[in-house]
Amino acid sequence: MIKTILVTGANGQLGNEIRAFASHFPTLNILFTNRNELDITDNDAVKKYFLENDPKVVINCAAY
């Protein structure tokens, strides 16, 4: 079973580091989003994203 992981703030320093290691985990479906793809301050957008992608884990790398 492939687990889906959502990484927000994927273009930041931490998000980029996680992206660099993602290829080492081929059994995971890792979704990387940035502010343009998913505004985490928009409740409706977040609900819609979760319904469409069903992530089991969220790693929030978004920063101010």
Q: How confident is the model at residue 63 (pLDDT cuts 50, 70, 90)?
A: confident
pLDDT at 9: 96
pLDDT at 1: 67
Q: What is the mean pLDDT of the chain?
A: 94
pLDDT at 29: 95
Q: Which helix (H) or strand (E) holds 15?
A: helix 13-22
pLDDT per position as a tens digit, 12-38: 999 999 999 999 999 999 999 999 999
Q: pTM for the full model? A: 0.90
Q: What is the DSSP letter of 34?
A: -
Q: Which tokens in the block code for residue 46?
A: 């977040």
Q: Which tokens in the block code for residue 16?
A: 């980029």
